Structure 1
Amino acid sequence: MSEAPAGKPAQGRVVARPRVGFLGVGWIGRHRLEAILEAGAVEVAAIADPSVEMAAEAGRLAPGAALVGTLDDLLDSGVDGVAIASPSALHAEQAIRALAWGAAVFCQKPLGRTADEAQAVVDAARAADRLLCIDLSYRFTEGMRQIRELLAAGELGRVHAVDLVFHNAYGPDKPWFYDPALAGGGCVMDLGVHLVDLALWALDFPQVNEAAGKLFAGGEPLAGRSDTVEDYAVATLELATGAVVRLACSWRLQAGCDAVISASFYGTEGGAALKNLGGSFYDFTAERYRGTARETLASPPDAWGGRAAADWARRLAAGERFDPAAQRLVDVARVLDRIYGR
């Protein structure tokens, strides 16, 4: 692929946009497809989904895309990148196959069910020298962007406490989410991954010295059960900086609203927090605290949901190859393993 940006003249010729295939086009997959189409950096060339109806619906969004049956068919169609939105148990194997074939990968979280699976994918991306990104979408909210800038500039002083919450009044509607072998875990794998990532990413990935969690299913301690996954979890991380991170996440919590989502950072010179508004999954405000005073950093509207996908597409079009920052995905996966006691 030419090093010139897609669609720009390179020595008197127009460079074709990279061709991208979509593997899995349920609600999330279609939403990310729309975001990539709106970015305009790549061509959606092929779509694969076990559901003929879902594939056809996605095809209406990208009428020029071929509807194919499998990942092999996507790869054989000559794509430069693959967006993966399949069940979690398939992510690592499918990503490795795509990378080994020579395609860049944008994958839904989790990258793998364990840190070993995630490491195998990152190793494959490094060996193939291909761009690998994960849909850690909350990084792309305007509020978290501004909070991270405050932290990087030392505006909050020495951060000593971080509290994160993601309670979802609903639960996944597909049976595989509740199978430990297929999902790798429950609400921690589904929601807690965002919380761990936000904490480490915002603080520039400090070393995690200790990590421990308590898991519950149906109001009772999970206690090593292998027939189900957790629907409520609390965890504590101790960082090498001396800071303590506390997180809680759940499915079907009776919280009086659709969702409770927040990420709060407290330092010696102030605090800052991202919080959802009115139980919304999509609307967030970010505030900075100085003692009892507060100021607004960001507020709705903020169309953040597809920004991670669009960012990957633009980077692919710009000719980016393996990004060593992908190793941080394994750091997050290792923390999840420790929360699960693995």
Structure 2
Amino acid sequence: MSKQLRIGIIGSGGIARAHAEAYGQLDNLVIAAVADIIPGKAAEFIAQTGLAEAQAFDDHRKLLELDLDAVSICTPNVAHYQTTIDALRAGKQVMLEKPMSVTLDEAVHMTQVAKETGAMLNIGYQPRYDPNTVLVRDLVQSGQLGKIYYVETGGGRRRGMPQGTFIRKDLAGAGAVVDIGTYSLDMALNALGFPKPLSVSAYSSNHFGTNPLYHPQASAFEVEDFGVAMIRFENDIVMNFKISWAMHMDTLGATMFLGTDAGLKITPAGTGPWSGVFDGRVGSITLYHDIQKHNTHSEIPLIDHKLNLFHEKVRDFVQAVRENGPAPIPGEQIVRSQAILDGFLRSAELKREVEIHIPEL
């Protein structure tokens, strides 16, 4: 039998509970420590989740002094960078919640430190584990679409604005774009094989978040609740990226891939005000193509499953830790997503197109 893995959790908010639950369903593993910068919060988390063997810390650096195999980093976005750097330099394998970081420079440095130390840096995008998301990737990469020249991705909640740390720029860094937009972006980029982004022209607003008619913390709302951008990539690909926490519309449309031989449309699953973005399941997949010069389309049957995608994400990470394998979702991939998010925020602030330059990793 393999040795018992010892896991630490840094940050004890809502997402940390999901990590604790997922780890708790795996054999031969113990959550040995929890850290949170707010005094007493880690101890409270341990008591509430029944982690009898876990130690509580108010300083993540003290947690990292323990004999741990890996850590889950579940802090607010702005703390991802330094906490990850500290964990990698302490020799811990890292499961980092999305978004990877706030800026491109941070993401690049995190990836470089992972290479220098030999520690794993895995980024948590659970929609990758939906069999239908895998099907979309395989269809796009099969060549059936021909040369892909245009991609549209994103989506919008009619109402779905969070509160607390999500709306504070000093903690979250940004709003809807990095919260749910990053999932839609990852779905498209993963299917395309992560082409290199070259430029971004973006617009963002927060008309709903700052209006007390729509948000109970309007006076504290500091981030965007809507964003849209045109992104240029190498190989003459363009992407229309759009995302919304709130709007007067039922949808911002499906994700689509337009190719010279066929097109692919993907709709998200779910109903209600918080649905409409790809942070969950796929609703339908349709291939548009020609047969004998006749326009036609084929509904691709969805794969029926009952997988808990979050648990699959954690299970895959733990397996990689046990086998000393590569990161299931490596930082090198997500640097390109982060470059787009970084360019998006710069462009929206400057109100003009900006170029993207990604250093060699």
Fold conserved between structures, TM > 0.5: yes
* Structure 2: distance between partners of 1:78 and 1:266: 50
Q: Does 1:64 align with 2:64?
A: no
**TM-score (norm: length of structure 2):** 0.79
Contact 2:208 / 2:247 at 8 angstroms: preserved in 1? no
Structure 1: give runs of 5+ residues left out of the alignment. Answer: 1-6, 8-14, 221-226
Structure 1 pair 18/299, CA: closer, same or farther in 2 (3 Å)? same
In the TM superposition, residue 265 of structure 1 has moved relative to its aligned partner by: 2.3
Residue 202 of structure 1: SS of its match in structure 2?
Answer: helix
Structure 1 pair 72/195, CA: closer, same or farther in 2 (3 Å)? same
Aligned pairs for 1:1-342 within 5 A: 7=1, 15-40=2-27, 42-49=29-36, 50=38, 51=41, 52-58=43-49, 60=50, 62-168=51-157, 169-174=159-164, 176-218=165-207, 228-255=222-249, 262-267=254-259, 268-279=261-272, 280=275, 282-290=280-288, 291-299=296-304, 301-320=306-325, 325-341=330-346
Residue 229 of structure 2: SS of its match in structure 1?
Answer: strand
Contact 1:235 / 1:247 at 8 angstroms: preserved in 2? yes
Contact 1:130 / 1:321 at 8 angstroms: preserved in 2? no
Of 87-96 and 184-193, more deviation after overlay is shown by: 184-193
In the TM superposition, residue 106 of structure 1 has moved relative to its aligned partner by: 0.7
* Structure 1: distance between partners of 2:28 and 2:267: 30
Structure 2: give runs of 5+ residues left out of the alignment. Answer: 210-220, 289-295, 348-361
Structure 1 pair 155/43, CA: closer, same or farther in 2 (3 Å)? farther
Contact 2:317 / 2:328 at 8 angstroms: preserved in 1? no
Structure 2 letter corresponding to 1:87: P
Contact 1:41 / 1:317 at 8 angstroms: preserved in 2? no
Structure 1 letter corresponding to 2:21: E
Residue 228 of structure 1: SS of its match in structure 2?
Answer: coil
Residue 178 of structure 2: SS of its match in structure 1?
Answer: helix
**TM-score (norm: length of structure 1):** 0.83
Contact 1:210 / 1:237 at 8 angstroms: preserved in 2? yes
* Structure 2: distance between partners of 1:101 and 1:162: 40
Of 309-318 and 176-185, more deviation after overlay is shown by: 176-185
Structure 1 letter corresponding to 2:177: V
Q: How many residues align?
A: 319
Identity level (%): 24
Alignment deviations for residues 56-84 of structure 1 (CA, whole Å, 9 cap, x no partner) = 223x1x43333333312322221111101
Aligned-pair Cα RMSD in Å? 2.7
Structure 1 pair 78/262, CA: closer, same or farther in 2 (3 Å)? farther
Contact 2:35 / 2:58 at 8 angstroms: preserved in 1? yes
Structure 2 letter corresponding to 1:326: G
* Structure 2: distance between partners of 1:101 and 1:66: 18
Structure 1 pair 96/157, CA: closer, same or farther in 2 (3 Å)? same
Contact 1:42 / 1:314 at 8 angstroms: preserved in 2? no
Structure 1 letter corresponding to 2:269: N
* Structure 2: distance between partners of 1:41 and 1:72: 25
1:4 is matched with which residue?
A: none
Alignment deviations for residues 131-177 of structure 1 (CA, whole Å, 9 cap, x no partner) = 10111222222211111111222122222222212323222221x33
Structure 2 letter corresponding to 1:136: Y
Alignment deviations for residues 303-323 of structure 1 (CA, whole Å, 9 cap, x no partner) = 213322221111011113678
